[in-house]
Chains A and B, each alone.
Chain A
Amino acid sequence: MAPNDSAETSEATGTVVGRRKAARYIVPFAVAGVAAATIGLVPALANSGDPDLPDITAQELIEKIAASDEQQLSGTVKVTTDLGIPSLGGLAGSFAPDAGSGGSSAEPESKLMELASGTHTLRVAVDGPDKQRLSVLGEGSEYSLVHHGDDVWGYDSASNEVYHAESDGNEHAAGKAPEGVPGTPKELAEKALAAADDTTSVTVGGTAQVAGRDAYKLVIKPKQSGSTIGSVTVAVDASTGVPLKFTLAPSSGGKAAVDAGFTQVDFAKPDASSFSFTPPKGAKVTEADELEAEAGKNGAADTAHKDLGALEDFQGLNVIGKGWSAVAEIALPGGAGLPAQGSGDMPAQAQQFLDALGDKVTGDFGSGTVFKTRLVNALLTDDGKVYVGAVTKDALVKAADAAE
């Protein structure tokens, strides 16, 4: 062995030196270990202390929310949605924009549909009722929805497409997320509170730290059985009354079905430039009016659109029950259920696929198929009726039986 290093002497074969040298291999493991411990422990330590806040009743807390008049805020929102829809991620992404109206990928509805599954990071900025901005941060791209005065702009940087709609002054909600799509915690909280009546228990469930701020937790639980919703938790900022986090836990337990909360929030006036938008050079601009006209034109040619159109003018939406266990009964156009096996309407594979997704059930109403997600279940009967609700399979069958 050559004595080839001044620092390392030639006695490398000596046991003491050898052992000392072997000890050097501990260093990388120690570094990795310290890093792992830090990653594991720091969040746990940071979370250990729930803030100590004066006691407050649910009523007072709701009033606090209602009285909140924060007009200006900006922040980052993380939305995690797990509705238990079987891997719709890619499917929704590829179908939604087409199914919408065959128009622009910058259209708000098609883009916000994507929030219905997976984890997304959003940025919000609000400055009074006239200026709002919502951005969905994608990998290497961003979708921005800017509401400024009468204009609503949607900009999809991935495809460089712009969507433009003009709203008349009093209809500023157009810039917000469409119904049924989780938006900011505030919208979600308002929705949950609106549903509260004698079927619902509303309590204050302790305190929490959200986005570095002290917050009360408002816990909303259904009193009725049969609902798939276990509880709704809204974390409300203790000083401003602004809802900071919204969590929807299914009654079946497990991970929250919807978890939307600020990871960072600032109540200062957002930069005015974030609300100004001019379509970038070369971007394809789609006007909302044109889009609607075009959708009408294309709709006739396209079978998918025909189906959609048919769905839109279905007759009869009937709500059975009330509160949390309400079930909607929808009569499908033409009274047709799922196409029967081998009817030629549907390829055999598609039939199999549908069967695999649903469970066959029978009851007084006849027989049908139940399609399950973590929150919403739907029963499609063979005679062409659909029962949909945020209720368990049994409650759905019961509702269908009662409706017969």
Chain B
Amino acid sequence: MSQAERTALAAPRTPGRALWTLGLLRSELTVMFRRWRTLALLGVLAAVPVLIGIAVRIETGDGSRGGPGDGGGPAFLSQVTNNGLFLVFAALSATLPVFLPMAVGVIAGDSVAGEASGGTLRYLLVAPAGRTRLLLTKYASVLVFCLAATLVVAASALAVGALLFPVGEVTTISGTRIGFGEGMLRALCVAVAVAASLIGFAALGLFVSTLTNSGIAAMAATVGVLITAQILDTMPQLDAIHPYLFPHYWLSFTDLLREPVYWDELVRNLGLQALYAAVFGSAAWARLTTKDIGV
């Protein structure tokens, strides 16, 4: 379905503007999830837990204790052999630094720039909705992708974990025990927290996307910003700016596995993501609403 068709399809169905926005969002989502690129990204994300699970399984197949004894490698890896649910946490902490934001960067970076380079952006704007609504719809669909991508990783990890390893009572990282049901609930909270960690980066990607008419350039720039921020975050000399870098509190989702839950960093993470969303969201709005959209 081409972009032009999509607007044509969405517009007549909708009497009110709010409904129009919903219709636009729906068609936007349909287009996004029907793209081969999106499916390939989700496929790669789903493959990560499978790889980790099989690797841990082979490594510990002879009945030896799982994971590196000195606690190296991604977090939670040593607990995976004892409880398959930990594969969810291990997979999320393995994909959060690179794979997840990279996928989000591709989707967010391409969201406006891709339409501009394809020449379809102006057709989208023919419909009586305004650029602000279009931008909000784009952002909403990127956020839906964030959640979908995270849930794909979590679901794949849960399936692989349950298949290859025993599941049951969960030991929190504080050493206390919680039932499997509550463990599942925590896993869901962790997935939502991970998705929420990407809110700020998604807004940043959207802003970059409004700057250029080349989808590839926007994706590359967005992923470049991600890598730069992560490198800066590891430099001890730049301690002072670390709390303001969007990936800084990404691993705070692990605090959900403490007993009692340690909220400080989680809240700080959400605040920071909201700040990034506000700053880059409004920057994207300023840019898109004043942009000359010719070709």
Contact = CB atoms under 8 A, between A and B. Distances in A.
Contact of A2 (B78, B174, B255, B293): B293
A7 B131 contact: yes
Nearest to A98: B70
Interface string B257-287: 0111010100000000001001110110111
Contact of A140 (B70, B93, B294): B93
Given A24-B285, A140-B93, A274 B131 contact: no
Most buried by B among A97, A141, A156: A141
Nearest to A142: B173
Contact of A105 (B70, B83, B285): B70
Nearest to A140: B75
A274 B175 CA distance: 9
B262 A281 contact: no
A25 to B, nearest CB: 5
A4 B65 CA distance: 64
Given A22-B290, A160-B79, A273-B176, A28 B131 contact: no
A27 B279 CA distance: 8
Interface residues of A, number: 50
Most buried by B among A6, A22, A25, A160: A160
B281 to A, nearest CB: 8
A282 B258 contact: no
A254 B283 CA distance: 40
B68 to A, nearest CB: 8
Interface in A148-183: 153, 155-161
Contacts of B81: 282
Interface stretch (B20-28, B32-40, B120-128, B136-144): B120-128
B234 interface: no
A265 to B, nearest CB: 14
Contact of A280 (B82, B280, B286, B290): B82
A144 interface: yes
Interface in B124-173: 125-126, 128-132, 168, 171, 173
B289 A32 contact: no
A267 interface: no
A120 interface: no
Given A7-B131, A31-B279, A274 B259 contact: yes
Interface in B66-95: 66-71, 75-76, 78-79, 81-83, 93
Contacts of B290: 8, 12, 21-22, 24-25
Contacts of B79: 157, 160, 280, 282
Nearest to B82: A282
Contact of B286 (A1, A2, A7, A28): A28
Contacts of A139: 75, 251, 254
Contacts of A300: none
Given A2-B294, A140-B254, A159 B173 contact: no
Given A2-B122, A35-B279, A135 B174 contact: yes
A159 B78 contact: yes
**Interface size bracket, B side:** 35 or more
B282 A159 contact: no
A121 B262 CA distance: 10
Interface string A71-111: 00000100000000000000000000100000001000000
A28 B280 contact: yes
Nearest to A154: B175
Interface in B29-76: 65-71, 75-76
Contact of B131 (A8, A35, A161, A280): A8
Nearest to A87: B236
Contacts of A273: 176, 259
21 contacts: A1-B292, A1-B294, A5-B293, A6-B130, A8-B289, A12-B292, A22-B290, A27-B286, A76-B262, A76-B264, A105-B70, A137-B258, A139-B75, A140-B75, A141-B75, A159-B71, A161-B69, A273-B259, A277-B175, A284-B65, A284-B69
Which 3 A-B residue pairings sit nearest by Cβ, starting from the closest? Answer: A140-B75, A158-B71, A282-B82
Interface of B: 65-71, 75-76, 78-79, 81-83, 93, 122, 125-126, 128-132, 168, 171, 173-177, 251, 254-255, 258-260, 262, 264, 275, 278-280, 282-283, 285-287, 289-290, 292-294
Interface of A: 1-2, 4-8, 12, 21-22, 24-25, 27-28, 31-32, 35, 76, 97, 105, 121, 123, 135, 137, 139-142, 144, 146, 153, 155-161, 263, 271, 273-274, 276-278, 280-284
